Amino acid sequence: MKTRITELFGIEHPIIQGGMHHVGYAELAAAVANAGGLGMITALTQPNPEALAAEIRRCREMTDKAFGVNLTFLPSVNQPDYPGYIKAIIEGGVKVVETAGNNPQKWLPILKENGIKVIHKCTAVRHALKAEAIGCDAVSVDGFECGGHPGEDDIPNFILLPRAAEELKIPFVASGGMADGRSLAAALALGADGMNMGTRFIATQEAPVHENVKQAIVAASELDTRLVMRPLRNTERVMNNAAVERLLEKEQRLGTSIKFEDIVEEVAGVYPRIMKTGEMDAGAWSCGMVAGLIRDVPTVQQLVDRIMAEAEGIIRERLSAMLNG
């Protein structure tokens, strides 16, 4: 299947594994690359640029195919060493960077000078148009269904993707609610050139997370996520658990007077406890509504092959049959 995304990134299938904190390690990125998609190492999961450089080298030992690095620009007081991370990306020979968070404009010249393609994560058409204007090569359009931060507009992909298709000239992928061949066929029909999956890739054999996390996703329905940090305008979609219930109770009780310090116990530094040791009630962790469509833990190769076969079947047989009568 050829799309503008497969051509842009030199991949076989229009499937991207998005950056995920304490999930996007070399073994998952390499597995996705080897299956024909675009895998992503998550830069800020690595404690420093030297660790990222080592992770990129480790990924190169597992695949000879293209993979990327996710780099999120945080609005924090104590900024990560972004110049160092970018240096590690460049010196590691990585040719695709997925940016997220704050506007990446400041960093685009050095990435472009080194032949790196940039795909920026956006939750609104106006943000996607800005990404296009500053020179991003592609965007990932994140609908309200997505795990993690869906923005504050609450627009689902059935509206957001056609709107993006109306406005954008650069290629874009659908993110949020993507899980299978139906997702890919629908995303293409709505104007996208591929899809980005996060939660679905956590529930694979190669994902380097505790088995409890994978089984929690398989067991969950589409009703089992919650939106937290809305009063702080930093909305995040997470899997419901005891810590999330506690957090939501604080939000309800404190209302608009709530501060980040009030919920720090539920959201700060919890990912290693959840992803590595399987403490499922340790805190809030990102998960999409798409958990309701996830019922197994295949290998990445099995998942990608299944998605492509299903998407091709829908396009060739079901949709064509409707046209041919």
Site of tokens 């106006």 = 126
Per-residue pLDDT, 49: 98
Tell me which DSSP letter residue 175 carries: E
Is the pLDDT confidence value at 248 over 80?
A: yes
Q: Where are the domains of the chain?
A: 4-205
Tell me: the pLDDT tens digits for 51-86? 999 999 999 999 999 999 999 998 777 889 999 999
- Collapse the DSSP code of 86 into the 3-class scheme (helix H, G, I; strand E, B; otherwise coil) and give the result: helix
Average pLDDT for 235-254: 97
Average pLDDT over residues 293-316: 97
Average pLDDT of the chain is 97
As a whole number of angstroms, the distance between CA 90 and CA 96 comes to 10
The predicted-structure confidence for 183-240, as pLDDT tens digits, reads as follows 999 999 999 999 999 999 999 999 999 999 999 999 999 999 999 999 999 999 999 9
Residue 107 has pLDDT above 90, yes or no: yes
Distances (CA, A) of 83 to 16, 59, 71, 87: 25, 21, 11, 6
User: How far is the C-alpha of 141 from the C-alpha of 157, rounded, in Å?
Assistant: 8
* H/E element, 120: strand 117-122
Using CA atoms, how far apart are residues 150 and 77, in angstroms rounded to an integer?
23
User: Mean pLDDT throughout 142-159?
Assistant: 97
* Cβ atoms < 10 Å from Cβ of 184: 27
pLDDT digit string (tens) for 308-325?
999 999 999 988 888 876
Q: Contact 244/216 with Cβ under 8 angstroms?
A: no
**Interatomic CA distance for residues 16 and 7, integer angstroms:** 13
Contact 292, 223 (CB under 8 A): yes
What pLDDT score was predicted for residue 324?
A: 75
Question: The tokens 């795909």 sit on which residue?
Answer: 119
Phi/psi for 256 (5° steps) reads -75, -10
Q: What per-residue confidence (pLDDT) applies to 70?
A: 98
Selected residue with higher pLDDT from 91 and 78: 91
List beta partners, residue 300: none
Mean pLDDT (whole number) for 234-253: 97
Write down how long the chain is.
325
What does the pLDDT read at residue 319? 87
Give residue 325's pLDDT: 62
The Cα-based distances of 201 to 18, 180, 207 in angstroms read 9, 11, 7
SS3 label, residue 279: coil
Cβ–Cβ < 8 Å for 97, 64: no
Give buried/exposed letters for 237-276 (b at 16+ CB in 10 A, else e).
bbbbbebbebbbebbeeeeeebeeebbeebbeebbebbbe
Could you give the dihedral angle defined by the CA atoms of residues 29, 30, 36 and 41, in that order, rounded to the nearest 10 degrees?
A: 20
Q: What is the pLDDT, as a whole number, of residue 98?
A: 98
Look up residue 296 and give its amino acid.
D
The CATH number of 4-205 is 3.20.20.70
> Which pLDDT score is estimated for 322?
87
| Helix H or strand E encompassing 271 | helix 271-271
Global pTM reads 0.96
Using CA atoms, how far apart are residues 32 and 248, in angstroms rounded to an integer? 35
Q: Is the pLDDT of residue 148 over 90?
A: yes
- Helical (H) or strand (E) element with 141: strand 138-142
Residues 6+ apart with CB under 8 A from 253: none
Helices (DSSP H) in 92-209: which residue ranges? 108-113, 125-134, 157-167, 181-189, 199-202
pLDDT for 298 equals 98
Calculate mean pLDDT across residues 295-307: 98
CA 41 to chain centre: 11
